[in-house]
Amino acid sequence: MEGIVQPHNDALVISVLVNKFRIKRVLIDPGCSANIIRWRVIEQLGLLSQIIPTVRVLNGFNMACEMMKGEITLPINTAGTTQQTKFYVIEGDMGYNALLGKPWIHSMRAVPSTLHQALKFPTLDGIKTIHGEQQTAKEMFAVEEAVAMAKVPGLKDRKPNKGEDAK
């Protein structure tokens, strides 16, 4: 757990490679029964033509429904290991660019740990470890103090009189 800011309750967020493009803000979610990716990511990758139109409704833990736009299979490269992965494509904003759930975790035979901010999986060369991007996870939903707006020179610090417009 060296290098991990403690205490924490951070999600396990990593980056992956798809066709030589790095996709950041990928959530590893062992509680999700699907792999999900945002439409905007597929658009930026130039792969919209590869989406197979499919009508299906995805239900979240809060019973919110999201209509998916289709399915796409992408080569996900993590630490030099590439796995063909089927994703459901959604148009809505989910805070992450993609979500890797049980189908990907199980096909990789991976063991994720939010506590240790790491994901380990076996390869022919031994056990590989991907470290979570804890700072990214912290920044995604951070509440920051608002910076006071600088005063415009020449404006007086007063309230307008009755009948006067505020300028």
Across the chain, what does the average pLDDT equal?
82
CA 29, CA 50: separation in Å to the nearest integer?
Answer: 25
| Per-residue model confidence (pLDDT) at position 155 | 47
Residue 42 vs residues 23, 36, 96, 97: alpha-carbon distances, Å: 10, 11, 13, 10
Q: What stretches of the chain show up as alpha helix (H) in DSSP?
A: 39-45, 102-108, 134-140
Q: How many CA atoms lie within 13 A of 16 on its CB side?
A: 26
- The token pair at 154 is 């020449």
Architecture per CATH, domain 13-140, reads as Beta Barrel (2.40)
Task: Identify the band that residue 167 occupies on the pLDDT scale cut at 50, 70 and 90.
Answer: very low
pTM score, two decimals?
Answer: 0.76
Give residue 76's identity as a one-letter amino acid code: I
User: Is the model's pLDDT at 85 over the cut of 80?
Assistant: yes
Task: Identify the band that residue 166 occupies on the pLDDT scale cut at 50, 70 and 90.
Answer: very low
Q: Give the total residue count for the chain.
A: 167
The mean pLDDT of 107-136, rounded to a whole number, is 92
- The token pair at 48 is 């919209």
| Per-residue model confidence (pLDDT) at position 10 | 82
